[in-house]
Amino acid sequence: MSRFSNRYKKIRRTVLEIIGAFDGVFAYKGPRCVQIDLTNACNNNCIGCWCNSPLLDDYKQTSDATLPTDMVLSLLNELKNMGTEEIYFAGGG
Ligand code: SF4
């Protein structure tokens, strides 16, 4: 991809971000950065964890749900088409 094309895309994304900020209702582009929690499964109970802390009592997540591979691949394709630049893969905690 040429330098001009990359520069054009960056300017376009920035302009769409500014338009979205002024609009206040509609985002004209996808997210720049996304974190995908691939699974809730964990065998620890860290006290500071937002989903597995023993202090959460009834609010503790009990599911070991894991995202299906085809769903993740579809999401990655969608994010690519929306211009997402960074993706972090993480667990549930
Ligand atoms: S998800 Fe991470 S922070 Fe939470 S209990 Fe497991 S290891 Fe600890």
Residues 47 and 76 in one domain: yes
**DSSP-assigned letters across all residues of 1-61:** --HHHHHHHHHHHHHHHHHHHHHSS--SS--SEEEEEEE---S---TT-TTT-GGGGGGS-
What pLDDT score does 25 carry? 95
Cα separation, 91 vs 10, in Å, equals 30
Place of tokens 């009834």: 58
CA nearest ligand 1 atom 4, residue: 93
- Integer Cα distance of 53 and 59 in angstroms: 9
**Residue 44 sits in the same domain as residue 79:** yes
Ligand 1 site, residue 93, Cβ cutoff 6 A: yes
Q: Please indicate, yes or no, whether residues 78 and 37 belong to a single structural domain of this protein.
A: yes
* pLDDT single digits (tens) 40-86: 888 888 898 887 788 888 777 667 789 999 999 999 999 999 889 99
Domain range spanning residue 60? 31-93
How many independent structural domains does the chain possess? Answer: 2
* Tens of pLDDT, residues 12-40: 989 999 999 999 999 899 999 999 999 88
Q: Are residues 56 and 69 in the same domain?
A: yes
Is the C-beta atom of 91 inside 6 A of ligand 1? yes
Q: For residues 37 and 4, state if they share a domain.
A: no
What is the model's pTM?
Answer: 0.70
